[in-house]
Amino acid sequence: MYLLSKSRNHIFIVSFLVYLFVNAFENLIHYNIGRFTNQETKFEIPTSKDWTKIILVMFIFAVLQGLLTNCFN
| Whole-number Å distance between alpha carbons of 51 and 54 | 5
Q: E strand or H helix at 19, and its extent?
A: helix 6-35
Q: Where are the beta strands (DSSP E) in the chain?
A: none
The distance from CA 64 to its chain's CA centroid, rounded to whole angstroms, is 10
Question: Each residue of 20-68: pLDDT tens digit?
Answer: 899 999 999 888 888 888 777 778 899 999 999 999 999 999 889 888 8
Residue partners of 20: CB distance under 8 A and separation at least 6 = 58, 59, 62
Q: What is the DSSP string of 52-67?
A: HHHHHHHHHHHHHHHH
pLDDT of residue 51: 92
User: Given this model, what pLDDT does residue 56 score?
Assistant: 93
Supply the pLDDT for residue 1: 40
Give this prediction's pTM: 0.70
